[in-house]
Homo-oligomer: A and B are copies of this chain.
């Protein structure tokens, strides 16, 4: 099992996951079996890089798509909101992954110019799955 631990973080369904890293004098290796090791089977991935320091990206939620964020280099501050609570997460290593479920609003602030974000997504691209209006996000139907 790849995950060594995962923690609820006060945002509906979101979790911080410590991925197992094999560390020896030659470096660190994280091996992920994509069909079984993550909270979902990824259909898509993103790589975000070359972001000017201080830039904030994201500003959207998804209706059905789950995402897993890992910082490959540098440091990225992720802010999440589930409409009730807000929490921030400092991502600064590949073996610390943040699972963002659907119906959670997220932003990512790039804290250094060498920051690189890897995102796995549970679904193929669908423009209709993006909610980029915060008022619309707050009015989404949710489980009580």
* Interface residues of A, Cβ cutoff 8 Å to B: 23, 25-35, 42-52, 55, 57, 70, 72-74, 93-95, 110, 114, 116, 118, 124-125
Task: Write out the residue numbers on chain B whose beta carbons fall within 8 Å of the beta carbon of A50.
Answer: 23, 27-28
Asked if A118 and B72 make an inter-chain contact with CB atoms under 8 angstroms apart, the answer reads yes
A50 to chain B, nearest CB (A): 4
> Among B31, B43, B73, which residue has its beta carbon within 8 angstroms of that of A116?
B73
Shortest Cβ distance from A98 into chain B, in angstroms? 15
Q: Which of B29, B32, B43, B49 contacts A27 (CB 8 A)?
A: B49
Say how many copies of this protein the assembly contains.
Answer: 2
The distance in angstroms between the C-alpha atoms of A74 and B23, with both chains bound, is 19
- Is B33's CB under 8 angstroms from A49's CB? no
Which residue of the partner chain, among B45, B55, B95, contacts A26 with CB atoms under 8 Å? Answer: B55
